[in-house]
Structure 1
């Protein structure tokens, strides 16, 4: 049975506020959805090729407040981009990306037009940790540049990749950025402690940040790795410097996350650290 909603307000040609018994009040977003429609008109939920629904009250309010500052053509274009992202990722996007990505792309275009340049310090790490999201974000940037004629700095690919990752994993950007800041801090400590300069293009660096990310994620979710006492004893004996540094990093994780970290993480971190010294 088709879901039919009643329009409460037409915000523009592509966005309406509507309601029914299921959705008390929701923002419906779809190309041409509001065209020639007015308050009181009926609108089927699947009126557009694909209709996005903003059900969360806070997200809805933020989106409605954002609309007056963005050209209507751009809103329709970002809707196309969201469909493209969803198709490429093969997953339904969390509704918060509508506000976050609309806001980000609109202001990124303004920054580009004013030639305001900035760097993304986590660009390599983002590409390494989220390769699929990064490739999709790269295509999104190309589409924006083709449509608007503006050129984005490379760092924008990383920022958009984070929005995509956030939308498909339902993690907040705040938590994702917290992970990256923690990884960056630990990489700095590793370099100082081992007196080495890590090369980002090196496969061992790639493995290290992948492991740090997974270790932080496991700690955050409370997922244990398991117990390997014999291996731990061997690593402690053979590689004391890296073993002790691994413990230091684990304690930093615990303090930053304010959660316990499985002691088994020390072993795998020790192996990664030892690889970096090229003595493993």
Structure 2
């Protein structure tokens, strides 16, 4: 159990701090590899969609049916699934559009119009938006890894990939505002810490009450959250970076890799 706890926290930390990787990419590269980013965002969406609908949803259903009965369990699973969607949709709705971390940003933007103080507020809001947005993702990664380390790893990798452009989204406006790359990186890095904080909250608050019923509801919600993120954020962002079929090829590759890993390791 202790080993699983450490792994769950480690995976959540890795996923959250990927925002820092995005920020670093903005500093060490001069152009955005849009094709690679488009493919990897599609890949991340493919992993999330496949694992949510093929594995997580049915694990939730199995747990809830076991805790209640078949009819009640099925209804609770569906309710938890759409509840997760509604939760993440509300979080997105509360984030001002200009501060939304999923607005397209490129590395090239780092060199445009630095030291524009009007954008410091936007950069700060973006960091806060990412922190709020990543909190439930931290709970999702932690609880998944705790129950099934292989599944948790897949989710952590998918979330880490989608956190990379979020790191760029923080760095660009903060650098605009201050001309300070270190400050831009620091804020981006810190915004990702809400993911392990979400894991810590899950451990302290949910763990003592983690019955089959609660586990099933959380997992159903996780599936809904991940489907929403994939359809509302990852795929549109992937299409913005590349308008060809590349994002869909990424989705197919992500699904194939996830399917293979489920067949071989889970």
Shorter-chain TM band: under 0.3
TM-score by length of 2: 0.22
TM-score by length of 1: 0.21
Q: Report 1 or 2 for greater relative contact order, CA contacts < 8 Å, sequence distance ≥ 6.
A: 2
Greater fraction helix: 2
Greater fraction strand: 1
